[in-house]
Structure 1
Amino acid sequence: MQVVFHLSSGDVDDWRHALGNVRNLLADDTADVDDVVLLVNGDAIRAVEAGSPVSTEVRALGETPVRCLGCRNSVSSRDMAATDLLANVDLVPSGVGELARLQDEGYAYLKVP
Structure 2
Amino acid sequence: MLRVVVQVSDINNVDQALTSCNNLINEIPDAEVEVVFHQSAINAVVRGSTVEDRIRDLMRRGVVIVACRNSMRSRNITEDQLIDGVKIVNAGVAEIVRKQAEGWVYLKL
Inter-partner Cα distance in structure 2 for 1:51 and 1:32:
28
State TM-score, norm by structure 2: 0.94
Computed over aligned residues only, the root mean square deviation of the Cα atoms, in angstroms, reads 1.1
**Aligned partner of 1:111: which letter?**
K
Give the CA deviation at 1:88. Answer: 1.9
Deviations 1:76-104 (A, max 9, x none): 11111011110121100100000000000
Question: Corresponding residue for 1:3?
Answer: 4
State TM-score, norm by structure 1: 0.91
Identical positions, percent = 34
Superposed, 1:21-100 pairs within 5 Å as 21-28=20-27, 31=28, 33-100=30-97
**Aligned partner of 2:7: which letter?**
H
Q: Is the contact made by 1:8 and 1:40 (CA closer than 8 Å) also made in structure 2?
A: yes
Inter-partner Cα distance in structure 1 for 2:72 and 2:90:
10
Give the CA deviation at 1:106. Answer: 0.6
Inter-partner Cα distance in structure 2 for 1:67 and 1:80:
20
Structure 1 stretches of 4+ moved >3 Å: 31-34
Q: Is the contact made by 1:4 and 1:37 (CA closer than 8 Å) also made in structure 2?
A: yes
Inter-partner Cα distance in structure 2 for 1:110 and 1:92:
18
Inter-partner Cα distance in structure 2 for 1:88 and 1:61:
11
1:59 aligned counterpart, secondary structure: helix
Q: Give unmatched runs, 5+ long, in structure 1.
A: none
Q: Is the contact made by 1:2 and 1:33 (CA closer than 8 Å) also made in structure 2?
A: no
Question: Corresponding residue for 1:17?
Answer: 16
